[in-house]
Amino acid sequence: MSKFWSKAVEHAKPYVPGEQLNDPGIIKLNTNENPYPPSPKVREAINLEIERLHLYPDPKADALNNTVAAYYGVAKEQVFVGNGSDEVLAFSFMAFFDQGKKIRYPAITYSFYPVYANLFHIPVEEVPLNRNFSLPVEAFFQSEGGVIFPNPNAPTSRYLNLDAIKEIAENNPDNVVIIDEAYVDFAKESAVELTIQCENLLVIQTLSKSRSLAGLRVGFAIGHPNLIEGLNRIKDSFNSYTIDRLAMAGARASILDKEYFKETTAKIIYTREWVKEEMKKRGFHVLPSQTNFLFACHYQKSASQLYEDLKEDGVLIRHFNKPKIDNYIRITIGTDEQMKTFIKKLDKLI
């Protein structure tokens, strides 16, 4: 505490990201990073841009907006880009949720949502998940102030079909429904197409996972131009230039290289499926994943013990010490080689 702090600081409950160990000897399966480097085109694009670093970037990020728009077949006015999807999420909380009205999100979900809600004084109703960790669709109907959830959900890895998302949007006609699609490229399909019909639906994505660009910090939102204008008004009241020149150039090159993206994403999905089967053989209950990670518990060995033992043995996974999921571990899908080592180390433990 300091007498110089605002009330916002006093009441802040900051987010705690996963451990970022820089030990190259460790197998890092704890923050859902992509094990493959970004497309080689990213390096070329960044190198061309370095010579312009003394000049401000385009505050409207038109080139990147256009690239995202073309990729998804929407208009440029339906796209907003930000400094990682976390920034897009923060701006969205400011732009669409109000202090007087309760928003809904799942009781088990991305742990940054309560942090934003607390920071911006937005009241919350946490919706319990079904026993199998699926989303209770109707419980999100007729919210007072809006809805937000990831699809696939994190850390559960479960995916919700588009019909259900459409129903949730239609049953919140006066509020914004935000679908946080950080992992959607490892899943069946994106809800972007629904944003044409549902003017209250905002879809948020990131280049951190499927694009191998966690280190570059780029995310985006797609929605009705009215929603995008709301985000731009907040952004331009907060920071004019959120995306630097290198991030803009690298993100564009990545999105344009569709072949590389398809190849690396397919590899991760393939690896995910065999790792899942191997874990099942070893007594794990593994949720059906449409992400680049698995969420699993063991019939005998506790999650916290697994986390500790694996860490001791040079493999970092994630364990959330929270009600209802404290006996689960979350394992990011790495390369085939990394995952073979992971399975071998599991065999030593169980």
The Cα 210–Cα 199 span in angstroms is 27
Query: Which is nearest to 175 in space by CA: 57, 228, 235, 96?
Result: 96
Smallest gap from residue 58 Cβ to a copy of itself (A)? 6
Smallest gap from residue 112 Cβ to a copy of itself (A)? 8
The Cα 160–Cα 181 span in angstroms is 11
Q: Which is nearer to a copy of itself, 317 or 346 (CB)?
A: 317
Smallest gap from residue 132 Cβ to a copy of itself (A)? 30
CA distances from 333 to 89, 121, 130, 338, 349 (A): 25, 36, 25, 9, 19
Smallest gap from residue 348 Cβ to a copy of itself (A)? 27
In 284-347, DSSP assigns E strands to 284-286, 293-298, 315-316, 318-319, 329-332
Q: Which is nearer to a copy of itself, 174 or 277 (CB)?
A: 174
Q: Which is nearer to a copy of itself, 33 or 185 (CB)?
A: 33
Q: Which is nearer to a copy of itself, 128 or 314 (CB)?
A: 314
* Structure token digits, residue 158: 């479960």
Smallest gap from residue 287 Cβ to a copy of itself (A)? 24
- Terminal C-alpha separation, the chain: 46
Smallest gap from residue 288 Cβ to a copy of itself (A)? 26
CB 201 within 8 A of CB 172: no
Q: Which is nearer to a copy of itself, 161 or 226 (CB)?
A: 226
CB 190 within 8 A of CB 73: no
* Amino acid at residue number 262: K
The Cα 46–Cα 24 span in angstroms is 25
Q: Which is nearer to a copy of itself, 36 or 327 (CB)?
A: 36
